[in-house]
Amino acid sequence: MKSAARRTQRDYSLAFKLDVVDQVERGELTYKQAQEKYGIQGCSTVLVWLRKHGRLDWSRGTPRFLKKGLPMFELNSPPTPEQRIKELEKLLEDTKLRADFFEEVVKVMERDHGVRVVKKHKGRVVQEQNIAQLNVTKFCQIVNITRQAYYKQCLTEARKLRRDEVLLSFVRETRIKQVRIGTRKLKYLMQQAGMTVGRDYLFSLLKHHRLLVKTKRAYHRTTDSHHRFYCHPNRIKDGFKPERPEELWVADITYLPTQEGNSYVSLITDAYSRKIVGYSVDDNMQTSAVKQAFIGALRKRRSKGSLIHHSDRGSQYCSKEYQDIHAKHKIVCSMTDGYDCYQNALAERVNGILKMEYLLRKPKDVAQARKMVAESVEIYNQMRPHTALKYKTPDEVHRAF
């Protein structure tokens, strides 16, 4: 369903475009079906994405092997009256057998599994007009209800469908930017927009339309803790909790594959507001590349109070080049005890959010990876409700101080 609000190409994130292109090229959807499913505006918007980001040749429209084959027809001579009578008798026999079979199936489902065929389901047979001779009057006589009850049920069902369509439209609009945002966060955003919906009902609605988000798991080790550099002690191990932004920053490096090789994302996250205050993307994990995230975070720093920088024992964080930045800005350094990811859980969690909710498709190269990460960080900071922040965005909490 298309949205009433007018959108431009900038309203669609690169990750969303690549996800749509991948579904079309795998044959899950045609480009017109993708346009209708996600409410994408413009007659040729998806086709433009396919020509720009796709791996197939879309210059002449849909590739030949993605098109469905044409049906084949056999030319038969018309049957004789005797043959036609036999066919009709056989068809009547099969129809009665089929009717008896389905009646017994309904009885078994009701008796053994507690499945009830309610009146609204029966009413859809009349509404869809699959049986030409069945009108409302005959239907009400068959199921033993009044015409008034039938039309009241139709009105209730129509209201429910309109409400469901509004909810689904809101979900599709939200997932243009946040492709894998969860159901609970969607419920909170709906409440903020003035929509009232129960949690269980929303879960059932999204499950019925196959819009629930499946969990993904991936693991790549990027930490080399076996080196000659000095490792600082863990200064937040004894239950240290920040009371304001820019009191504790956590840092980590995560792996981001591209079509042309590997790239690595370095992140600096504020532990109080959960805001990503600095990031960098490069094709290597050298200290010169990793420190760019730290420098970017320091440039945006507003507070002059004490600050702790917590990370794992990676050689990049322990190197003299990185430690000189700590000394210059009088920042206290803290590190995990050996290779223990749970001692840097917040940084690992932010890595997972970016990769499992936003960075869903392989970018072409490092340049495209930088653009995708920049879009993802902006959406995460400014639009994504955070459960630990009582469904506020990291940027709201960070700016409150």
Q: pLDDT tens digits for the chain (401 residues)?
A: 455 667 777 778 888 888 888 888 888 888 888 888 888 887 788 888 888 888 887 777 776 656 554 444 444 557 778 878 888 888 888 888 877 777 777 777 777 777 666 655 666 677 767 777 778 887 787 777 888 888 888 888 889 889 999 999 999 999 888 888 888 989 999 988 889 899 998 999 998 888 888 776 655 555 555 555 678 888 888 878 899 999 999 999 998 999 988 899 999 999 999 999 999 999 988 888 899 999 999 999 988 889 999 998 888 888 899 999 999 999 999 998 866 678 888 998 998 888 888 888 889 999 999 999 999 999 999 999 998 899 999 999 998 87
Shared domain check, 94 and 26: no
Task: Identify whether 225 is part of a domain.
Answer: no
Shared domain check, 347 and 258: yes
Report DSSP letters for 252-301, one per residue. Answer: EEEEEEETTEEEEEEEEEETTT--EEEEEEESS--HHHHHHHHHHHHHT-
Q: Give the residues across from 249 on adjacent strands.
A: 270, 309
Shared domain check, 393 and 308: yes
Angle, helices 287-299 vs 320-329, to 10°: value is 10
Q: How much is the pLDDT for 202?
A: 92
Report DSSP letters for 25-79, one per residue. Answer: HTTSS-HHHHHHHTT--STTHHHHHHHHH-SS--TTSS-GGGSPPPP-----PPP
Paired sense of beta strands 261-270 and 248-258, if any: antiparallel
Q: How much is the pLDDT for 392?
A: 92
Euclidean distance between CA atoms 294 and 264, whole angstroms: 15
Shared domain check, 158 and 50: no
Shared domain check, 327 and 279: yes
Instruction: Kindly state the tokens that stand for 332.
Output: 């206290």
Shared domain check, 345 and 273: yes
Task: Identify whether 158 is part of a domain.
Answer: yes
How many distinct structural domains can be found in the chain? 4
Sheet of 261-270: strand order equals: 276-282, 261-270, 248-258, 308-311, 332-335
Euclidean distance between CA atoms 34 and 360, whole angstroms: 17
Task: Identify whether 291 is part of a domain.
Answer: yes
Task: Identify whether 239 is part of a domain.
Answer: no
Instruction: Kindly state the tokens that stand for 296.
Output: 């970017």
The model scores a pTM over 0.85: no
Shared domain check, 338 and 283: yes
Shared domain check, 378 and 293: yes
């749509």: which residue's tokens?
20
Domain that includes residue 369, residue range: 248-399
Shared domain check, 105 and 58: no
Compute how many other C-beta atoms are within 10 angstroms of the C-beta atom of residue 338: 11
Of 353, 279, 348, 289, give the one whose Cα is nearest residue 315: 289
Shared domain check, 138 and 153: no
Q: How much is the pLDDT for 68?
A: 52
Euclidean distance between CA atoms 252 and 171, whole angstroms: 32
């981001």: which residue's tokens?
256
Shared domain check, 120 and 155: no
Euclidean distance between CA atoms 100 and 87, whole angstroms: 20
Shared domain check, 342 and 263: yes
Task: Identify whether 83 is part of a domain.
Answer: no
Which residues neighbour 201 within 8 Å (Cβ) at sequence distance 6 or greater? none
The DSSP element (H or E) to which 334 belongs, if any, is strand 332-335
Cα separation values, 22 from 17, 34, 45, 54, 149, Å: 9, 11, 15, 8, 48
CATH number of the CATH domain containing 280:
3.30.420.10
Instruction: Kindly state the tokens that stand for 307.
Output: 């600050």
Task: Identify whether 304 is part of a domain.
Answer: yes
Task: Identify whether 71 is part of a domain.
Answer: no
Q: How much is the pLDDT for 73?
A: 42
Compute how many other C-beta atoms are within 10 angstroms of the C-beta atom of residue 317: 27
Instruction: Kindly state the tokens that stand for 15.
Output: 């990750």
Task: Identify whether 70 is part of a domain.
Answer: no
Q: Is 309 exposed, middle or buried (0-12, 13-18, 19+ CB in 10 A)?
A: buried
